[in-house]
């Protein structure tokens, strides 16, 4: 299954794959070269296809658990002052996505979306300490049942130059449902109250909508 954000790109990729190989068959006599061209174009198409994959997952929604919004590796767990919307000290958990990860962003919790804003910015590498505040990004804040007000931030990186954000203010966020997509790898920060129990460690690999990153009793 492929994500809707990749449908147009995959269609273009298929057309290019067919067109290049038709040209090769009709205008290049050397069969070895034809096979090489076919192999290279097929590999390139498969790389693009795997990037936009959206595997089916069995989600178990729970208001007492905040799930990872994305697939990737936990790179930051620390207390920070979140100044954009929450205006208080929180736990920041950052998950870095490589180009081979699934790139769907999911709502970590259910709740009311009361803030959703896009910011222009730089394209520092996603693990840079200042990328959360200086890079191109979107910030979304939710009013949740158990965690109170939380926020998460999609951050562009040195390669990722396209952030898609579906969250609209006053809409209802459904835990684990699609909330956006980041093309070609980057990072997501989630900001949770200090009362939350952190359930992950730095360098742990997590799955979006499946891995619990924090809980509330």
Reduced to 3 states (helix: H, G, I; strand: E, B; else coil), residue 84 is: coil
- Catalytic annotation, residues: 186
Residue 157 has pLDDT above 80, yes or no: no
Q: How far apart are CA 158 and CA 43, in angstroms?
A: 24
42 and 86 housed in the same domain: no
Q: Which helix (H) or strand (E) holds 149?
A: strand 148-155
Q: How far apart are CA 188 and CA 134, in angstroms?
A: 14
Residue 170 has pLDDT above 60, yes or no: yes
Whether residue 56 is contained in a domain is answered as no
DSSP letter for 4, please. Answer: G
Assigned token pair, 149: 């007000």
Whether residue 107 is contained in a domain is answered as yes
Q: How far apart are CA 208 and CA 53, in angstroms?
A: 13
Instruction: Give residue 163's pLDDT.
Output: 83
125 and 27 housed in the same domain: no
- CATH number of the CATH domain containing 125: 2.70.70
Whether residue 110 is contained in a domain is answered as yes
Whether residue 176 is contained in a domain is answered as yes
Whether residue 77 is contained in a domain is answered as yes
Residue range 188-193: average pLDDT?
97
Q: Which residues on neighbouring strands pair with residue 35, listed in sequence order?
A: none
Please give the residue range of the domain that contains residue 42: 4-51
**Cα dihedral value 197, 200, 201, 204, nearest 10:** -170
Q: How far apart are CA 2 and CA 14, in angstroms?
A: 14
Q: How far apart are CA 179 and CA 153, in angstroms?
A: 11
End-to-end CA distance of the chain: 36
C-alpha dist (Å) from residue 48 to 10, 87, 93, 124, 153: 7, 39, 28, 23, 25
Instruction: Give residue 214's pLDDT.
Output: 98
pLDDT interval class at 125 (50, 70, 90):
low
78 and 33 housed in the same domain: no
Whether residue 58 is contained in a domain is answered as no
Instruction: Give residue 128's pLDDT.
Output: 52
pLDDT interval class at 4 (50, 70, 90):
confident
pTM for the whole structure: 0.82
85 and 39 housed in the same domain: no
Whether residue 88 is contained in a domain is answered as yes
85 and 180 housed in the same domain: yes
Q: For the chain, how many structural domains are there in total?
A: 2
Reduced to 3 states (helix: H, G, I; strand: E, B; else coil), residue 13 is: helix
99 and 17 housed in the same domain: no
Whether residue 60 is contained in a domain is answered as no
Residue 6 has pLDDT above 70, yes or no: no
């Amino acid at each position: 299954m492929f994500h809707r954000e990749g449908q147009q790109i995959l269609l273009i990729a298929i057309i290019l794959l067919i067109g290049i190989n038709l040209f090769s068959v009709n205008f290049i006599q050397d069969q070895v070269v034809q096979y090489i061209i076919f192999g290279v174009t097929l590999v390139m198409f498969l790389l693009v296809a795997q990037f936009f994959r959206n595997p089916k997952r069995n989600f178990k929604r729970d208001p007492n658990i905040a799930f990872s919004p994305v697939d990737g590796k936990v790179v930051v767990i620390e207390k920070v002052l979140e100044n954009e919307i929450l205006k208080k000290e929180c736990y920041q958990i950052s998950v870095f996505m490589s180009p081979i990860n699934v790139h769907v962003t999911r709502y970590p919790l259910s709740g009311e979306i009361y803030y959703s804003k896009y910011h222009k910015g730089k394209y520092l590498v996603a693990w840079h300490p200042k990328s959360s505040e200086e890079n191109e990004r979107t910030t979304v804040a939710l009013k949740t049942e158990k965690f109170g007000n939380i926020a998460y931030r999609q951050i562009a990186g040195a390669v990722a130059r396209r952030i898609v954000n579906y969250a609209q203010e006053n809409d209802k966020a459904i835990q684990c449902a699609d909330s956006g997509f980041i093309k070609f790898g980057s990072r997501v920060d989630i900001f949770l109250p200090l009362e939350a129990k952190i359930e992950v460690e730095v360098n742990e690999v997590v799955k979006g909508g499946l891995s619990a990153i924090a809980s509330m009793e």
